[in-house]
């Protein structure tokens, strides 16, 4: 009855996989005690990491506007996962860094993410999973190199 997804356009497959994964992650985060971290925020926390980062660089890295990134960052700051420090070499800019709480959360969330990925891996086999992952990453790299020109 449910038409097999091989027939679906790639966009539909990607969309549904992404939504499915996001749902599972949200569940995992809630179970793990982080009901206030949303998926996109997690990417940001991950990217800020140990080294800190600047908002504009993050926006570029995730291919979104400064405004959208700004909102994610505001929320993360309000929740106490992220702090802002003046950039001594540029008075316009602020350097983002994880708070201690943010560091703990990032590490635990990373493990939740890995658990989900391990489950996915087991569903279609490790080698096939990793090949798929690599191919997707390669595709993305190509797309970002030469957009549509």
Residues near its own copies (CB under 8 A) are 2-6, 8-22, 24-25, 27, 39, 43, 46, 61-63, 113, 117, 120, 123-124, 128-129, 131-144, 148
- Choose between 31 and 64: whose C-beta lies nearer to DNA: 64
Strand partners, 96: 53, 84
Nearest to 129 by CA among 116, 111, 148: 116
Shortest distance (Å) from residue 16 CB to its own copies: 6
Contact 20, 39 (CB under 8 A): no
143 binds, among DNA, its own copies, none (CB under 5 to 8 A by kind): its own copies
Q: What are the angstrom distances between the C-alpha of 118 and each of 34, 123, 132?
A: 20, 9, 14
Shortest distance (Å) from residue 48 CB to DNA: 12
């Amino acid at each position: 009855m449910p038409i097999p997804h091989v027939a679906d356009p790639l966009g539909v497959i990607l969309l549904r996989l992404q939504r499915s994964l996001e749902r599972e992650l949200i569940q995992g985060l809630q179970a793990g005690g982080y009901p206030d971290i949303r998926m996109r925020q997690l990417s940001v926390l991950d990217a800020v990491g140990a080294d800190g980062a600047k908002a504009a660089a993050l926006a570029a890295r995730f291919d979104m506007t400064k405004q959208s990134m700004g909102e994610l960052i505001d929320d993360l700051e309000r929740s106490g996962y992220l702090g802002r420090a003046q950039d001594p070499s540029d008075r316009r800019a602020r350097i983002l860094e994880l708070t201690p709480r943010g560091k703990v959360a990032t590490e635990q969330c990373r493990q939740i993410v890995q658990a989900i990925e391990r489950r996915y891996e087991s569903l279609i086999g490790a080698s096939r999973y990793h090949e798929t992952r690599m191919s997707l990453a390669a595709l993305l790299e190509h797309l970002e190199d030469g957009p549509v020109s």
